[in-house]
Amino acid sequence: MSTTTIRLEEQLKARIAQAAARAGKSPHAFILEALASTVEHDEIDAEMHRIADERWAKVQRTGATVPWSEAKAYIQARAARQKAAQPAARKPPR
């Protein structure tokens, strides 16, 4: 395991110590967990953007989309834990 040095303002260091104590952890463990969580969130965010970019490129390439009324009905049904057929993307009528 490698060592990395970070410089913290005294006020932040004190806040970390207090938060770590509330969590029942050492400041070191608290900082490691915070860093791991931040990196994980960044990786999830990057993957979401990658998928969104792929899907947007497909919409631009094909012109096919799902009408909002169908997407909304599907989302509401799924949120209510009901089975619902996923709406299919299609080109709008001309």
Does 52 share its domain with 41?
yes
* Whole-model pTM over 0.75: no
Does 52 share its domain with 69?
no
Does 56 share its domain with 44?
yes
pLDDT band at 94 (very low <50, low <70, confident <90, very high): confident
Does 83 share its domain with 57?
no
Query: Mind giving me the DSSP string for the chain?
Result: ---------HHHHHHHHHHHHHHTS-HHHHHHHHHHHHHHHHHHHHHHHHHHHHHHHHHHHH--B--HHHHHHHHHHHHTT---PPPPPBPPP-
**Token pair recorded at residue 78:** 């799924």
pLDDT tens-digit series, residues 23-78 = 999 999 999 999 999 999 999 999 999 999 999 999 999 999 999 999 999 999 99
Mean pLDDT, residues 82-90 taken together: 95
How many domains is the chain built from? 2
